[in-house]
Structure 1
Amino acid sequence: MIEVTRLNGTTVLINSDLIETVEETPDTVISLTTGKKFIVKESRQEVKNLVKSYKRDIFTNGLLREE
């Protein structure tokens, strides 16, 4: 899961596997496959980096646990 910040300053964890689109309109809107949408402070690129980092952590930690 990735942690993002809503426009009101609260943080929310989002399951990155459910992200369908991330748009800047100019606010960043994360649309999930469930139909739910989140408007967040992070840029599209920051959201992309959070997802990449999360997936990298899962992959790395998963390999370490199997050894």
Structure 2
Amino acid sequence: MLNPYSAEHCTVNSVSITEVCGEWHVLVQEDGKESARTFVTEQYALNYAEGQRLRLHLNKVMRI
């Protein structure tokens, strides 16, 4: 039986950004798959996140 709540069946796309211990992380969720990129500066992370937001046709980047 398939679990409708498992991540592999999730189709919600999102882009989020967070800062941890001086590093900036951008998390991209696309078609049930998640990827993460780490950046030294906030501006590089914001630029990458904005590009992913545009590519996925999303309204906003979430800060977490």
Instruction: Considering fraction of residues, name the structure with more helix.
Output: 1
Q: Flag the structure with more relative contact order, 1 or 2, with Cα contacts below 8 A and sequence separation at least 6.
A: 2
Please report the TM-score for the alignment, with normalisation by the length of structure 2: 0.33
